């Protein structure tokens, strides 16, 4: 840790510019550059071309400029929802929200500036939000609410009078950019003498590369900011200001409390209305590509459907709604608490056709009598070993080390009044985060599944755990290495093998990810078609995403070699490009028709 701090200080010194020579007006702005692992960056530049990749990289740092609302058609209609939302916006002091003719999506140009230059110079303007029904065929139950940004914010900097500031963690900042408030655990540093009610500028500390090639944040929670160049990450935070808010606690209070809102955000770089707790059961927020994934599966009422990685449950509930709640929809996830989350969402939406199980998707085929004649690989040691070593694979699943902060440890030690091992503390902190645990959950029970018989589902969705490099907004992307990307791909192929066994001949498999990594997308499709000759790519409706990448990619050092689609097949998949006009997250959908199985 000390080494890292010295390294950061060295960087500070080497870039030191006397304060009088700095142009502070450009410092307090939002114009981040995404950091990648250099090898991964080189791979993506090869795959996309330098210009295209730099557009993708810039788009990832911004949220989509609209919120996408899925209306539960079993309970309501888009028209009714639009009317209710207008009423709610009026009550919230936004009487000028207008209803627009149906929209496809909003081009970023119309609401969010696309280039870093324009981000830096964007003028703050009054937000006129609009609301409209989606125009894509079959998606009239989707409602878009337009937001705006990036806005230049006047933080009130005066020469010689430092701003009161708060530095938040990256995860916290990404949530704030999506419309959240700043909560106490997200605050890393705060100016001296901040009192409740003070206006504070909010910036983010993003991981920096350390001397040993890793990434880290060399800052202790509770750091005092002086508003000078000696402050931690002073130079690195240039262009990483996400808005201004009112401190809801004093500086001391923020670092003493364990929960609550620390800063009530009043002026945000991106203004997107919050839908928290709104019209529960009638609507839920869902990315457009996720909605389209459910359509691509084309589930029919009465069928038996499996979602192998179902939590938090967005796609499986969308599927159940498309099936009019008729049929058998099986939702599995390996996480007990996440399965409870699916149950909660299904109950909220009043869906009764969904059955949930805790199950490791790598073991989803039951290896009983029925499957005795399967090739060894399906239940082999290989698969079991992968499960043991896969903890680091599920990027969006990672345990939040932040919770193991010294303060949390101190609090728990103080409560106990005795020494407790770090492992025990970890367990308890996880409980604090995840709730009381499997045997003490309020209400729902989670059943464990032993797996399912081969050829027992009409359709299977594999919305695979992935590197999540398409999720927006994202302020750092350096954690993924070429090796970790390869591991994701291995894991996904093993899961796909299980999907192939479970689906009936004549059935459908839909594979999707929220990453821009072709090694987890196009390369999986190549693997599937090369391994199983009875699979073929099927066309998808509606088709909104672009074509996939064709050809192959090999780095000069031979590290990555991916074979992708062959020309002619590329239009059968949907690749959602975050830098495209649709302004969605980065996403990939492939749909396979299953012919007569010869395994």
Ligand X SMILES: C[S@@+](CC[C@H](N)C(=O)[O-])C[C@H]1O[C@@H](n2cnc3c(N)ncnc32)[C@H](O)[C@@H]1O
> What is the 3-state secondary structure of 521-585?
CHHHHHHHHHHCCCEEECCCCCCCCECCCECEEECCCCCCEEECECCCCHHHCEEECCCCCCCCC
Minimum distance from CB of 314 to ligand X (Å)? 4
> What span, in angstroms and rounded, lies between the C-alpha atoms of 46 and 49?
6
Minimum distance from CB of 175 to ligand X (Å)? 18
Q: With binding defined as CB under 6 A, does residue 313 bind ligand X?
A: yes
| Catalytic positions, written as ranges | 514
Q: With binding defined as CB under 6 A, does residue 309 bind ligand X?
A: yes
Helices (H), 197-277: 251-256
What residues between 162 and 221 interact with ligand X by CB under 6 A?
none
315 is in an annotated binding site: yes
Contact between 495 and 309 under an 8 Å Cβ cutoff? The reply is: yes
Contact between 239 and 201 under an 8 Å Cβ cutoff? The reply is: no
Positive or negative torsion for Cα 454, 456, 458, 462: negative
Q: With binding defined as CB under 6 A, does residue 575 bind ligand X?
A: no
Minimum distance from CB of 382 to ligand X (Å)? 14
Kindly determine how many residues on this chain lie close enough to bind ligand X according to the rule CB under 6 A.
20
Minimum distance from CB of 406 to ligand X (Å)? 29
Helices 314-322 + 288-297 axis angle, to 10: 50
Stretch that binds ligand X, among 136-144, 194-202, 311-319, 374-382 (CB under 6 A): 311-319
390 to 429: interface string for ligand X, x by CB under 6 A? ----x--x--------------------------------
Minimum distance from CB of 386 to ligand X (Å)? 9
> What span, in angstroms and rounded, lies between the C-alpha atoms of 296 and 305?
13
Q: With binding defined as CB under 6 A, does residue 335 bind ligand X?
A: yes
All residues at 6 or more sequence positions from 7 whose CB lies less than 8 Å from its CB, including other chains: 210, 211, 218
238 is in an annotated binding site: no
| Closest to 134 (Cα-Cα) out of 122, 146, 121 | 146
Q: With binding defined as CB under 6 A, does residue 589 bind ligand X?
A: no
- Ramachandran quadrant class, 138 (left: phi over 0; alpha: psi -120 to 50; beta: rest): left
Positive or negative torsion for Cα 310, 384, 435, 409: negative
333 is in an annotated binding site: yes
List 360, 458, 569, 570, residue binding ligand X (CB under 6 A): 360
List 162, 216, 239, 312, residue binding ligand X (CB under 6 A): 312
311 is in an annotated binding site: yes
Taking CB positions, which residue lies at the least distance from ligand X? Answer: 309
All residues at 6 or more sequence positions from 122 whose CB lies less than 8 Å from its CB, including other chains: 113, 149, 150, 151, 152
Which residues face 145 on adjacent strands?
A: 67, 131
Three-state DSSP class for residue 243? strand
Q: With binding defined as CB under 6 A, does residue 331 bind ligand X?
A: no
List 153, 279, 292, 310, residue binding ligand X (CB under 6 A): 310
Nearer to ligand X, 236 or 463 (CB): 463
Q: With binding defined as CB under 6 A, does residue 320 bind ligand X?
A: no
List 314, 327, 451, 545, residue binding ligand X (CB under 6 A): 314
> What is the 3-state secondary structure of 323-375?
CCCCCEEEEEECCHHHHHHHHHHHHHCCCCCEEEEECCHHHCECCCHHHCCCC
> What span, in angstroms and rounded, lies between the C-alpha atoms of 454 and 459?
12
What residues between 262 and 301 interact with ligand X by CB under 6 A?
290
Nearer to ligand X, 386 or 409 (CB): 386
Q: How many other CB atoms are found less than 10 A from the CB of residue 257?
A: 16
List 271, 315, 472, 565, residue binding ligand X (CB under 6 A): 315
Three-state DSSP class for residue 493? helix
Nearer to ligand X, 119 or 361 (CB): 361
Nearer to ligand X, 307 or 577 (CB): 307
325 is in an annotated binding site: no
List 217, 283, 320, 361, residue binding ligand X (CB under 6 A): 361
Q: With binding defined as CB under 6 A, does residue 463 bind ligand X?
A: yes
Q: With binding defined as CB under 6 A, does residue 520 bind ligand X?
A: no
> What span, in angstroms and rounded, lies between the C-alpha atoms of 312 and 322?
18
Contact between 198 and 267 under an 8 Å Cβ cutoff? The reply is: no
Three-state DSSP class for residue 152? coil
Q: With binding defined as CB under 6 A, does residue 134 bind ligand X?
A: no
Minimum distance from CB of 534 to ligand X (Å)? 25
463 is in an annotated binding site: yes
Minimum distance from CB of 293 to ligand X (Å)? 8
Nearer to ligand X, 232 or 313 (CB): 313
Q: Which residues are annotated as a binding site?
A: 309-315, 333, 360, 463
Q: Which residues are annotated as a binding site for S-adenosyl-L-methionine?
A: 309-315, 333, 360, 463
Report the interface residues with ligand X, using CB under 6 A. 290, 307, 309-315, 333-335, 338, 360-362, 394, 397, 463, 465
């Amino acid at each position: 840790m000390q080494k890292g701090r010295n390294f950061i200080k060295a960087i500070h010194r080497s870039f030191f510019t006397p304060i009088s020579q700095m142009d502070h007006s450009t410092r307090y702005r939002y114009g981040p550059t995404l950091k990648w692992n250099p090898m991964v960056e080189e791979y993506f530049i090869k795959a996309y071309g330098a210009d295209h990749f730099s557009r993708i990289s810039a788009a990832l740092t911004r949220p989509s400029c609209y919120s996408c609302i899925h209306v539960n058609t079993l309970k309501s209609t888009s028209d009714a929802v639009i009317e209710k939302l207008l009423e709610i916006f009026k009550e919230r002091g936004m009487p000028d929200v207008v209803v627009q003719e149906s929209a496809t999506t909003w081009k970023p140009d119309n609401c969010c500036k696309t280039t870093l230059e324009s981000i830096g110079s964007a003028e703050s303007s009054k937000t006129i939000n609009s609301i409209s029904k989606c125009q894509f065929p079959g998606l009239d139950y989707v409602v878009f609410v337009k937001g705006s940004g990036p806005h230049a914010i006047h933080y009130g900097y005066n020469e010689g009078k430092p701003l009161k500031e708060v530095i938040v963690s990256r995860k916290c900042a990404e949530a704030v950019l999506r419309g959240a408030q700043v909560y106490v655990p997200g605050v890393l540093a705060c100016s001296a003498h901040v009192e409740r009610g003070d206006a504070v500028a909010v910036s983010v500390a993003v991981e920096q590369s350390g001397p040993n090639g890793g990434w880290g944040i060399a800052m202790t929670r509770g750091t005092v900011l002086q508003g000078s160049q000696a402050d931690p990450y002073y130079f690195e935070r240039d262009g990483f200001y996400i808005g201004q808010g009112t401190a809801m606690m004093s500086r001391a209070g923020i670092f003493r409390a364990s929960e609550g809102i620390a800063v009530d955000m009043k002026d945000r770089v991106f203004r997107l209305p919050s839908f928290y707790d709104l019209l529960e059961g009638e609507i839920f927020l869902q990315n457009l590509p996720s909605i389209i994934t459910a359509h691509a599966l084309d589930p029919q009422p009465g069928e038996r459907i499996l979602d192998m990685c179902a939590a938090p449950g967005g796609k499986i509930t969308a599927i159940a709604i498309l099936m009019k709640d008729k049929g058998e929809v099986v939702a599995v996830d390996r996480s007990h608490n996440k399965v409870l989350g699916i149950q909660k969402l299904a109950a909220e939406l009043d869906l009764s056709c969904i059955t949930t199980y805790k199950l490791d998707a790598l073991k989803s085929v039951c290896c009983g009598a029925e499957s005795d004649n399967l090739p060894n690989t399906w239940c082999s040691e290989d698969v079991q070993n992968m499960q043991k070593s896969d903890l680091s694979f599920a990027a969006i699943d990672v345990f939040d080390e932040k919770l193991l902060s010294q303060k949390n440890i101190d609090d728990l030690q103080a409560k106990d009044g005795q020494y407790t091992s770090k492992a025990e503390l970890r367990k308890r902190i996880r409980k604090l985060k995840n709730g009381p645990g499997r045997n003490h959950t309020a209400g729902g029970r989670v059943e464990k599944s032993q797996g399912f018989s081969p050829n027992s589902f009409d359709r299977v969705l594999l919305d695979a755990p992935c590197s999540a490099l398409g999720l927006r907004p994202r302020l750092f992307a350096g954690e993924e290495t070429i090796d970790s990307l390869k591991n994701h791909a291995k894991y996904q192929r093993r899961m796909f093998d299980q999907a192939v066994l479970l689906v009936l001949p004549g059935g459908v498999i839909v594979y999707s990810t929220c990453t821009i990594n072709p090694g987890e997308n196009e390369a999986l499709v190549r693997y599937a078609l090369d391994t199983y000759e009875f699979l073929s790519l099927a066309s998808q409706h509606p088709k909104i995403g672009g074509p996939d990448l064709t050809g192959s990619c090999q780095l000069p050092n031979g590290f990555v070699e991916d074979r992708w689609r062959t020309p002619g097949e590329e239009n059968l998949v949907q690749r959602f490009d975050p830098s495209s006009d649709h302004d969605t997250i980065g996403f990939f959908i492939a749909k396979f028709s299953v012919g007569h199985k010869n395994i």
